[in-house]
Amino acid sequence: MAVTGQLASVRRDLRERDVRVVITALVVAVATVATISLFASLLQRALVTSASAFLAADRQLEAEHGRPIPPDWYQEANRRGISTASMVEFSTMVFGGDRFQLVAVKAVSDAYPLRGQIEMQVGEGAERELVSRGPRPGEVWLNPRLMRLLALDMGDSLEVGNQALTVSGLLLREPDGGFSMAALAPRIMMHADDVPATGVVREGSRVEYVALFAGEEPELEAFHRWLEPQFHPSHEWKSVQDGETLSRSLQRAERFLLLGGSLAVLLAAVAVAVASREYALGQRDTVALLKTLGLRGGAISRLYLRRLALWGVAGCAGGLLLALPIYYGLAQVLSEVLERPVAAELDWRALLPALVTALVALFGFAYPPVRRLRQVAAMRVLRSEPGESGRRAWPDILLAGLAVFGLVWFYAGELAMVTALLGGVAALLAVLALVAWLMVLGLRHLRGGGTAWRLALVALYRHRQSTLSQVSVFAMTIMLACTLILVRSSLLDDWQAQLPENAPNHFLINIAPEKVDAVADFWEQRGHPLAQLYPMVRGRLTELNGQPVKEAVSKDERINALNRELNLTWMSELPADNALVQGQWFEAGARDGVSVEYELAERLGLKIGDRLGFTIGSDTLSETVTSIRTVQWESMQPNFYMAFPPDGQLAAMPSTWITSFYLPTSEKALLNDFARAFPTVSVLEVDHIIERIRAIVQQVTQAVEAILALILAAALVVMAAVVSATLRDRQREGALLRTLGGQQRLLVRSTMLEFALLGLVAGILGALAAEAAVWALQLRMFEGEFQWHWSVMLPVPLVSAALLSLFGRWQLAPVLKVSPMLLLRRLE
Amino acid sequence: MPDQTPTDMPSSQSMLKVEALSHRVDLGDDTLTILQEVSFDIARGESVAIVGRSGSGKTTLLGLLAGLDSPSSGRVVLDGEEISALGEDERAALRARRVGFVFQSFQLLPALSALENVMLPLELAGHEAPEAQATELLERVGLGQRLRHTPRQLSGGEQQRVAIARAFASNPAVLFADEPTGNLDNRTGKTISDLLMALNQEQGTTLVMVTHDEQLAQRCQRRLSIDAGRVTEPEEQH
- Pairwise CA distance, residues A214 & A77, whole Å: 9
ipTM score for this prediction: 0.82
Phi, psi of A566 (to 5 degrees): -100, 155
- Cα distances from A103 to residues A474, B47, B114, in angstroms, run 64, 113, 93
pLDDT at B98 over 60: yes
Confidence (pLDDT) at A263:
66
pLDDT band at B90 (very low <50, low <70, confident <90, very high): confident
Higher pLDDT pick, A149 / A621: A621
Mean pLDDT of A795-805: 89
Higher pLDDT pick, A585 / A236: A585
What DSSP string describes A254-319? HHHHHHHHHHHHHHHHHHHHHHHHHHHHHHHHHHHHHHHTT--HHHHHHHHHHHHHHHHHHHHHHH
Q: Which range, A740-744, B106-110, B190-194, is most confident?
A: B190-194
Distant-in-sequence, close-in-space partners of A240: CB < 8 Å, separation ≥ 6: A48, A51, A52, A54, A55, A58, A246, A247, A250
pLDDT band at A179 (very low <50, low <70, confident <90, very high): very low
pLDDT at A547 over 60: yes
The answer to whether the Cβ–Cβ distance between A463 and B111 falls below 8 Å is yes
| A-interface mutation test, from B69, B88, B91, B124, most A Cβ less than 10 A away | B124
Q: Is A34 helix (H, G, I), strand (E, B) or coil?
A: helix
The answer to whether the Cβ–Cβ distance between B111 and A387 falls below 8 Å is no
* Percent of chain B residues topping a pLDDT of 90: 23
Higher pLDDT pick, A496 / A534: A534
The answer to whether the Cβ–Cβ distance between B101 and A458 falls below 8 Å is no
- Pairwise CA distance, residues A599 & A605, whole Å: 10
Q: Which range, A661-665, B71-75, B107-111, is most confident?
A: B71-75
Higher pLDDT pick, A201 / A801: A801
What digits encode the pLDDT tens for the residues A99-129?
Answer: 777 788 999 999 988 887 788 888 877 777 8
Confidence (pLDDT) at A716:
66
In A80-194, the DSSP E strands lie at 83-96, 99-108, 118-121, 128-131, 139-142, 157-160, 163-173, 187-191
Q: How near does any CA of chain B get to the CA of A477, in Å? A: 25
Confidence (pLDDT) at B136:
92
> Between vectors from CA B195 to CA B190 and to CA B197, what angle results, nearest 5°?
95
The DSSP bridge partners found for residue A622 are A613
Q: Does A732 touch chain B (CB under 8 A)?
A: yes
The answer to whether the Cβ–Cβ distance between B124 and A458 falls below 8 Å is no
Q: A543-557 b/e with 16+ CB inside 10 Å = b?
A: bbeeeebbeebeeee
Confidence (pLDDT) at A204:
59
Confidence (pLDDT) at A337:
52
pLDDT at A714 over 70: no
- Pairwise CA distance, residues A420 & A774, whole Å: 9
Residues of A in contact with B92 (CB under 8 A): 738, 741-744
Higher pLDDT pick, A230 / A44: A230
> Between vectors from CA A218 to CA A217 and to CA A219, what angle results, nearest 5°?
90
Distant-in-sequence, close-in-space partners of A573: CB < 8 Å, separation ≥ 6: none
pLDDT band at A191 (very low <50, low <70, confident <90, very high): very high
Cα-Cα-Cα-Cα dihedral sign, residues B170, B174, B179, B184: positive
Confidence (pLDDT) at A689:
65
Q: How many other CB atoms are found less than 10 A from the CB of residue A348?
A: 8
Mean pLDDT of A430-439: 76
> Between vectors from CA A743 to CA A740 and to CA A747, what angle results, nearest 5°?
100
The answer to whether the Cβ–Cβ distance between A451 and B126 falls below 8 Å is yes
- Pairwise CA distance, residues A755 & A801, whole Å: 7
> Between vectors from CA A747 to CA A742 and to CA A748, what angle results, nearest 5°?
150
Mean pLDDT of A49-73: 76
Confidence (pLDDT) at B74:
93
Higher pLDDT pick, A586 / A433: A586
pLDDT at B135 over 90: yes
pLDDT at A203 over 70: no
pLDDT at A165 over 90: yes
The answer to whether the Cβ–Cβ distance between B120 and A739 falls below 8 Å is no
Of A116, A142, A134, which is closest to residue A191 (Cα–Cα)? A134
User: What's the helix, strand, coil split of chain B in %, to 5?
Assistant: 40, 25, 35
User: What distance, in Å, lies between the first and last C-alpha atoms of chain A?
Assistant: 35
pLDDT band at A710 (very low <50, low <70, confident <90, very high): low
- Cα distances from A815 to residues A177, A729, A734, A819, B64, in angstroms, run 66, 11, 7, 9, 20
The answer to whether the Cβ–Cβ distance between A741 and B121 falls below 8 Å is yes
Confidence (pLDDT) at A712:
65
- Pairwise CA distance, residues A299 & A583, whole Å: 68
| B143 touches B158 (CB < 8 A) | yes
Confidence (pLDDT) at A223:
92
Confidence (pLDDT) at A437:
75
Higher pLDDT pick, A216 / A557: A216
A126-134 CB contacts, 8 Å cutoff, 24+ apart: A128/A172, A134/A108, A134/A189, A134/A190, A134/A191
Confidence (pLDDT) at A252:
59
pLDDT band at A489 (very low <50, low <70, confident <90, very high): low
Higher pLDDT pick, A764 / A432: A764
Q: Smallest Cβ distance to B92: which of A451, A743, A825?
A: A743
The answer to whether the Cβ–Cβ distance between B69 and A458 falls below 8 Å is no
Confidence (pLDDT) at A390:
44
* Percent of chain A residues topping a pLDDT of 70: 73
Confidence (pLDDT) at A405:
80
Question: pLDDT averaged over chain B?
Answer: 84
Residues of B in contact with A750 (CB under 8 A): none
Confidence (pLDDT) at A674:
84
User: What is the H or E stretch that residue A623 is in?
Assistant: strand A619-630
pLDDT at A243 over 50: no
What digits encode the pLDDT tens for the residues A296-352?
Answer: 878 888 888 888 888 888 889 988 888 888 788 767 766 655 555 556 667 777 788
pLDDT band at B162 (very low <50, low <70, confident <90, very high): very high
pLDDT at A726 over 80: no
Q: Write the burial class of residue A694 (CB in 10 Å: 0-12 exposed, 13-18 middle, 19+ buried).
A: middle
Mean pLDDT of B66-80: 89
Confidence (pLDDT) at A141:
93
- Pairwise CA distance, residues A39 & A36, whole Å: 5
- Is cis: bond before A218, omega within 30 of 0? no
Question: pLDDT averaged over chain A?
Answer: 77
pLDDT band at B105 (very low <50, low <70, confident <90, very high): confident
pLDDT band at A739 (very low <50, low <70, confident <90, very high): confident
Q: Smallest Cβ distance to A821: which of B69, B111, B126?
A: B69
Mean pLDDT of A76-98: 88
What digits encode the pLDDT tens for the residues A634-688?
Answer: 667 788 889 999 888 888 888 888 888 888 878 877 887 887 788 777 777 777 6
Residues of B in contact with A743 (CB under 8 A): 89, 92-93
Confidence (pLDDT) at B117:
87
Residues of A in contact with B67 (CB under 8 A): none
Q: Which range, A118-132, A317-331, A773-787, B212-226, is most confident?
A: B212-226
pLDDT at A502 over 60: yes
- Pairwise CA distance, residues A61 & A86, whole Å: 9
| A470 touches A722 (CB < 8 A) | yes
Q: Which range, A11-15, A411-415, A785-789, B178-182, is most confident?
A: B178-182
Confidence (pLDDT) at A180:
40
Q: Are strands A118-121 and A99-108 parallel, antiparallel or unpaired?
A: unpaired
- What's the one-letter identity of residue B224? L
Q: Are strands B222-227 and B47-51 parallel, antiparallel or unpaired?
A: parallel
For B61, which residue in chain A has the nearest alpha carbon? Answer: A821
Q: Does A821 touch chain B (CB under 8 A)?
A: yes
| B-interface mutation test, from A740, A747, A749, A825, most B Cβ less than 10 A away | A740
Q: Smallest Cβ distance to B68: which of A383, A462, A824?
A: A824
Q: Smallest Cβ distance to A740: which of B89, B121, B153?
A: B121
What DSSP string describes A305-316? HHHHHHHHHHHH
The answer to whether the Cβ–Cβ distance between A743 and B112 falls below 8 Å is no
